[in-house]
Amino acid sequence: MKLTNKELPQHMAKNSSTATRRTRSRLVKSKGRRSPLATIALIVIGLVTTGGAYALFSSTASAETQSSSAAANQSSVDAGKKLFAANCATCHGLSAEGVNGVAPSLYGVGAAAVSFQVGTGRMPLANQGPQAEQKPVQFTDAQVTAMADYIASLSPGPGIPAKKYLGGNDDAAEGAELFRVNCAMCHNVAGAGGALTEGKFAPALSGVSAEHIYEAMVTGPQNMPVFNDKNITPAQKADIITYLKYLDKNPSPGGIDLGNLGPVAEGLFIWIFGLGAVVGVTIWIAAKAN
């Protein structure tokens, strides 16, 4: 079909307009295809850069803190090792491996055992006997901590108890029940202690620090059984400590407590003083009658 001279300019203008629209459409489509990828790429780059910078800063700060803590702990371990070599190695061996017939190995006893034994003066042992007796402490708190850190570094074991279990502000009634069931047969219901076999004894618990009470429960010194967290939970140990601290703060309201040693002491008191008084009065009456 041929176009006339009048229609030709109109046709060319229409084709030019169509071509322009197609070009614009292709540009818009092209931009539409690239824009999402570019945006995502920018977001990823931003996240990686920010996260990398944060991780680098955090790891650097953490490394500095850990390095400082590790250095401090290693310093304490080194100091504890020297103290151990000078005061404990004679019985327990240079590497705390123990000596047959003299002293046990200390591998696995943990920092809690050292804190209890050394912190109460039971160790170093003054002389061989049925059991180690409490005596004045020979080391400062820092030295006890250093030796505990050294023994703890040798192998895993019970650690120093957390402060939240040592406040003495928990359930005293629950603690009293737990103490009666688990401890009173040796330590007496009032924590006054008692005799055991072969010259051994359960010590009195009045005035004993909360930390040492907790450590004794988890390490089982002397003839005492070990009460781990499956036997008595940390919260229940805190209740027992609360009960014992309650006894420390509240003396017996019933008069002379006679050492809280129970019916034997009370019976002996009645036998000596009660019957003695009756016999004395009887003799006095008889003498007056004569």
Taking 3-state DSSP, the helix, strand and coil percentages for the chain, each rounded to the nearest 5, stand at: 65, 0, 35
- Judge whether 246 lies within some domain: yes
Q: What is the pLDDT of residues 110-133, one digit of tens each?
A: 999 999 999 999 999 888 888 888
Q: What is the pLDDT of residue 37?
A: 67
- Judge whether 211 lies within some domain: yes
- Judge whether 14 lies within some domain: no
Residues 173 and 260 both lie in one domain: yes
Report the percent of the chain where pLDDT is more than 90: 49
Q: What is the pLDDT of residue 40?
A: 73
Q: What is the pLDDT of residue 67?
A: 39
Total domain count, the chain: 2
Residues 112 and 189 both lie in one domain: no
* Domain-ending residue, one of 116, 131, 160: 160
* Domain-ending residue, one of 160, 191, 206: 160
- Judge whether 181 lies within some domain: yes
pLDDT beyond 70 at 14: no
The owner of tokens 């996260």 is 51
Q: What is the pLDDT of residue 284?
A: 85
Q: What is the pLDDT of residue 175?
A: 97
Q: What is the pLDDT of residues 72-112, one digit of tens each?
A: 589 999 999 999 999 999 999 999 999 887 889 999 999 99
Residues 172 and 258 both lie in one domain: yes
CA angle at residue 163 from 230 to 121, to 5 degrees? 90
Residues 167 and 143 both lie in one domain: no
Q: What is the pLDDT of residue 256?
A: 66
Q: What is the pLDDT of residue 243?
A: 96
Q: What is the pLDDT of residue 60?
A: 47
pLDDT beyond 50 at 62: no
pLDDT beyond 70 at 6: no
CATH number at residue 103: 1.10.760.10
CA distances in angstroms from 117 to 74, 179, 211, 222, listed in the order given: 22, 22, 12, 10
pLDDT beyond 60 at 235: yes
Domain of 246, in residue numbers: 162-264
Mean pLDDT computed over every residue of the chain: 81
Residues 192 and 246 both lie in one domain: yes
Residues 81 and 139 both lie in one domain: yes
* Alpha-carbon span 76 to 66, nearest angstrom: 15
Residues 182 and 139 both lie in one domain: no
- Judge whether 122 lies within some domain: yes
pLDDT beyond 70 at 151: yes
Residues 126 and 178 both lie in one domain: no
pLDDT beyond 80 at 237: yes
Question: 153-157, 196-200, 210-214: which has the minimum mean pLDDT?
Answer: 196-200
Q: Which amino acid is at 87?
A: N
Question: 76-90, 193-207, 208-222, 252-266: which has the minimum mean pLDDT?
Answer: 252-266
**Hey, what are 23's tokens?**
């070009």
pTM recorded for the entire structure: 0.67
Residues 214 and 249 both lie in one domain: yes
**Do residues 182 and 209 make contact, with C-beta atoms less than 8 angstroms apart?**
no
Q: What is the mean pLDDT of residues 26-48?
A: 62
Residues 147 and 175 both lie in one domain: no
Residues 260 and 166 both lie in one domain: yes
Residues 146 and 238 both lie in one domain: no
- Classify 101 in phi/psi space as left (phi over 0), alpha (psi -120 to 50) or beta: left
Using 50, 70 and 90 to split pLDDT, how confident is the model at 164? very high
Q: Which residue did the predictor score with more confidence, 40 or 115?
A: 115
CATH number at residue 187: 1.10.760
- Judge whether 77 lies within some domain: yes
- Judge whether 50 lies within some domain: no
**Strand, helix or coil at 103?**
strand
- Judge whether 15 lies within some domain: no
* Domain-ending residue, one of 112, 143, 160: 160
